Structure 1
Amino acid sequence: MRYIIIGGVAAGMSAAMEIVRTDEKAFVTVLERGKDYSYGQCGLPYIINGVVPSTKDVIARTVSTFREKYGIDARIFTKVTGINVEQQIVRGIQTETNQTFQLEYDRLLIASGTDPVVPDWKGIDLNGIHTLKTLVDTDNLKYDISDNVQNVTVIGGGYIGLEMAESFQTLGKKVKLIQRGNQLATIFDKDMAKLIEKEAVSKDINLILNEEVTGFSGENRVETVETDKGSYQTDLVLLSIGVRPNTQFFSETEIHRNGQGAIFVNAHMETSIPNIYAAGDCATHYHIVKQLDDHIPLGTTSNKQGRIAGANMAGNPLTFKGIVGTSIIKFFDLTLGRTGLTEIEAKKLTIPYEVETMSALDHAGYYPDNDKLKIKLIYNKDTKLLLGGQIIGKEGVDKRIDVLATALYNKMTVEQLTDLDLAYAPPYNGVWDPLQTMARKI
């Protein structure tokens, strides 16, 4: 059986390893357009400020390991340009040699990930303007942060934008963060985002909301960021305004995609074309709470979907059960956690909902060094089913957001939260966990 996988990072290599484990006679070819395989993209911001010493530290397995230990034909600098679905052929080009190639497949996995959104702004090609998606991006950015770089501008207040604002600030840089909308971190509701904005300002981040970048100016290197309301001097720019699925290379096929370009898949990771599967950031992710296909590109989901795709390709029928939209971010002294639906999402889906918010201590009040948590629960007004939660604080956020994620996965009601047997000791919790206190109040 000839397996071809497009993409050699999280989903692609999870699938490749599952195929090798399941089908002893498998011939697996992986086509990676870059030079690096199987690395943790979520760790890249921490390489920039030296918390993680090197890009080598986030590589799980090298190209040579896949080739020599597992017998995978792991290719690099191979850019796929098209797919002939009738003849089951992948076309592409080897970018180092400029040689074109064609490969036949029995089963194909598209795990091509996402690309950073880079608008066609004036001056976008100036030196000193960076994105952060690959190990090459990381090395280039780290090399560019010299002592001469003092003023750094981060454009975009999402995951990477927040993490990179912190990273630059800990390097002693003066950081501006420009956000087009009226709040940071739009995966949170505005009332919770205010806590994030307060933290940014307290750490001397120059926060600029409600301004849209229109371009850049400078001689050979960026010197000024221009917006619809003014201009700002800068020595370096980190562009982080979102990503889009890397799926343009098979636009001539009839594979079904959503409005963002993500490939629709079923629970077995099958696409609308026979013998073609998709997984990871380029695919859709069934959302258990929304009960529809969504697109929330995260490393955890990519690894799960990749494993399930590989198993199904090799004849072991596994199913992907879905996501509930869980994520967590470290931002200076705060941890920002969310799962399920926000108020905005519940409104958009016309779900009758109620909200409960509370400030609580992260552990017993009499035990030293406790801090406040801000918790927001969203639940169905009629059925009392949990719909989502957002938690921001210094300690204990991860514990409680995972409790909520598990409750959402199991479609629990607010009342059922009170029955959970959660861990208690004064250094970690009160006798009643804040989530259960809120549930009792509701």
Structure 2
Amino acid sequence: MKYVIIGGDAAGMSAAMQIVRNDEDAEVTVLESGTYYSYAQCGLPYLLSGVVEEADHLVARDVETFREKHGIDARVNHKVTGVDPKQKTVRGDGFEVPYDKLLIATGARPIVPDWDGMDLGRIHTLKTIPDALGIMDNLGDEVKHVTIVGGGYIGLEVAENLALLGKKVTIINRSERLGADFEKSMSSHIQDEATKHGVELVLGATVTGFSGDTDGNVQTVQTSEQTINTDLVIVAIGVTPNTDFLDGTGIHLSPKGAIKVNAYLESSVSCIYAAGDCATQYHRLKQIDDFLPLGTHANKQGRLAGLNMIGHARPFQGVVGTAIMQFFDLTLARTGLSSREAQELKFPCAISETETSTSAAYHPNAERIHSLLVYHRDTEQVLGGQFIGKTGVDKRVDVLATALYYSVTMEQIENLDLSYAPPYNSVWDPIQQTARRR
């Protein structure tokens, strides 16, 4: 059986490893458009600051390991430009490869608007190791001010890491606030943290273009509100699935361009599967296919796609929308639905919010944590939650994500048997205190 996988990162190589481990006769070919296999894209902002010291530290397995140890025909610089489902072939510049079963794991690419001056030097996006290395090459002493376009997760992480380098950082965000996925009361803490660390915020503004100096490097950013002098720009306004090459295949795509897959990661075309950032993910709370491009989902979907391709049927159970990040001294996390998302789905919802302690209030290690729960006003089913604080955020969001997976109510949250000792918690966990406040 000939298995072909397009894409050599999280989803693609998770699938490849399941195939070779469970089918001794499998012929696995992986076509990667770049030169790096299986690397941690989420670690790229930390490479910029030197928190991660070397790019190779982000590589889980290099291409030679896949070739020599696992017998995978792992190819680099093989960009696929078309798929022929009738002939069962994939093609690119100078190559054509037949398949019996195909996995599309091409990921996503940064959204880059057609702004004036986008071709100037020192304007970057951040999605790959070469992207990060390119930014680092431009971060010399002459670059004193960096402008980040976009206030999402990547934009915030990049802002933090460049501030650690001593750069003056400005964030331009189209929304009126940072962290638009958070409730307004929660996002205010994010903005306060940015200001506290000297990050300038330009909110409610849209970029219209760039101008350059005599060397062809970016010099100013023009927005709907003002002109900003800068030495380097990083555009981080989101990603779009790498699915353009599938035109004419009959593969069904979502409105955002992601490949629609069923629970077994099958596309609408026989023998073609998809996983990771180029595919949809079933959202257990929304009860619809969604597009949430995260490394956790890519690894899970890829692993299951590999098993399904060899006939070991294992459905993907879906996601609840959990995310966490560090931003200077704070940890920001959320899971499930925001009130805006719940209202868009016509769920009657309410919010309960508290500011409590991560441990017994009298303990010297106690820190404040902001907790917020979104719940169904009629059934009291918990729909989502958000947490911001210096410590203890990761514990709370993971407890709640588990609870959301099983559709618990606010009363059931109160009844959870959670751990308690003064250094770690109060007798009522912040999640439970928030549930009790409804």
* TM-score range relative to shorter protein: over 0.9
Aligned to 2:99: 105
| 1:26-71 Cα deviation digits (max 9, x unpaired) | 0000000000000000000001001110110010000000000000
Aligned to 1:151: 145
Q: Aligned pair 1:133/2:146, yes or no?
A: no
User: Secondary structure of the residue that 1:223 maps to in structure 2?
Assistant: strand
Q: Aligned pair 1:45/2:39, yes or no?
A: no
Match of 1:197 among 191, 201, 208: 191
Match of 1:322 among 318, 324, 339: 318
Aligned to 1:97: none
Distance 2:436 2:331 in 1: 25
| 1:338-379 Cα deviation digits (max 9, x unpaired) | 000001101100101111011111111110031111111011
Distance 1:424 1:147 in 2: 49
Aligned to 2:19: 19
User: Secondary structure of the residue that 1:268 maps to in structure 2?
Assistant: coil
> Which amino acid is the alignment partner of residue 22 of structure 1?
N
Q: Aligned pair 1:231/2:227, yes or no?
A: yes
Distance 1:177 1:370 in 2: 32
User: Secondary structure of the residue that 1:249 maps to in structure 2?
Assistant: helix
Q: Kindly indicate whether the alpha-carbon contact (under 8 Å) linking 1:22 and 1:316 is maintained by their aligned counterparts in 2.
A: no
Q: Kindly indicate whether the alpha-carbon contact (under 8 Å) linking 2:365 and 2:423 is maintained by their aligned counterparts in 1.
A: no
Q: Aligned pair 1:79/2:75, yes or no?
A: no
How big is the shift at 1:439? 2.1
Distance 2:224 2:376 in 1: 41
Aligned to 2:244: 248
Percent of residue pairs bearing the same amino acid type: 55
Distance 2:433 2:175 in 1: 34
User: Secondary structure of the residue that 2:79 maps to in structure 1?
Assistant: strand
Distance 2:432 2:255 in 1: 39
User: Secondary structure of the residue that 2:270 maps to in structure 1?
Assistant: coil
| 1:97-144 Cα deviation digits (max 9, x unpaired) | xxx111110000000000000111111011100111001011111111
Distance 2:180 2:279 in 1: 22
> Which amino acid is the alignment partner of residue 139 of structure 1?
L
- Mapping 1:287-302, distance limit 5 Å: 287-302=283-298
Q: Kindly indicate whether the alpha-carbon contact (under 8 Å) linking 1:159 and 1:329 is maintained by their aligned counterparts in 2.
A: yes
How big is the shift at 1:422? 1.0
User: Secondary structure of the residue that 1:311 maps to in structure 2?
Assistant: helix
Aligned to 1:183: 177
User: Secondary structure of the residue that 1:66 maps to in structure 2?
Assistant: helix
Match of 2:160 among 154, 166, 186: 166
Q: Aligned pair 1:308/2:304, yes or no?
A: yes
Match of 2:405 among 382, 403, 409: 409
Q: Kindly indicate whether the alpha-carbon contact (under 8 Å) linking 1:182 and 1:209 is maintained by their aligned counterparts in 2.
A: yes
Aligned to 2:270: 274
How big is the shift at 1:440? 2.8
User: Secondary structure of the residue that 1:354 maps to in structure 2?
Assistant: strand
> Which amino acid is the alignment partner of residue 34 of structure 1?
G
Aligned to 1:374: 370
User: Secondary structure of the residue that 2:35 maps to in structure 1?
Assistant: coil
Aligned to 2:35: 35
Distance 1:21 1:417 in 2: 40
Larger CA deviation: 424-433 vs 320-329:
424-433
> Which amino acid is the alignment partner of residue 105 of structure 1?
Y
Aligned to 1:430: 426
| 1:385-425 Cα deviation digits (max 9, x unpaired) | 11000011110000000010000001111111122121111
> Which amino acid is the alignment partner of residue 137 of structure 1?
D
Aligned to 2:392: 396
Aligned to 2:2: 2
| 1:301-336 Cα deviation digits (max 9, x unpaired) | 000000000000011101100000000010000000
User: Secondary structure of the residue that 2:74 maps to in structure 1?
Assistant: strand
Distance 1:187 1:88 in 2: 41
Distance 1:190 1:81 in 2: 43
Aligned to 1:440: 436
- Structure 1 length normalisation: TM-score? 0.98
Distance 1:152 1:403 in 2: 37
Distance 1:10 1:183 in 2: 32
User: Secondary structure of the residue that 2:372 maps to in structure 1?
Assistant: strand
> Which amino acid is the alignment partner of residue 290 of structure 2?
D
How big is the shift at 1:183? 1.2
Structure 2 gap segments, 5+ residues each? none
Distance 1:260 1:287 in 2: 15
Q: Kindly indicate whether the alpha-carbon contact (under 8 Å) linking 1:36 and 1:62 is maintained by their aligned counterparts in 2.
A: yes
Q: Kindly indicate whether the alpha-carbon contact (under 8 Å) linking 2:258 and 2:280 is maintained by their aligned counterparts in 1.
A: yes
Q: Kindly indicate whether the alpha-carbon contact (under 8 Å) linking 1:377 and 1:390 is maintained by their aligned counterparts in 2.
A: yes
Q: Aligned pair 1:122/2:116, yes or no?
A: yes
Distance 2:77 2:179 in 1: 34
User: Secondary structure of the residue that 1:379 maps to in structure 2?
Assistant: strand
Distance 2:267 2:261 in 1: 5
Distance 2:247 2:410 in 1: 45
> Which amino acid is the alignment partner of residue 247 of structure 1?
T
Structure 1 gap segments, 5+ residues each? 94-99
> Which amino acid is the alignment partner of residue 36 of structure 2?
D
Distance 1:432 1:208 in 2: 40
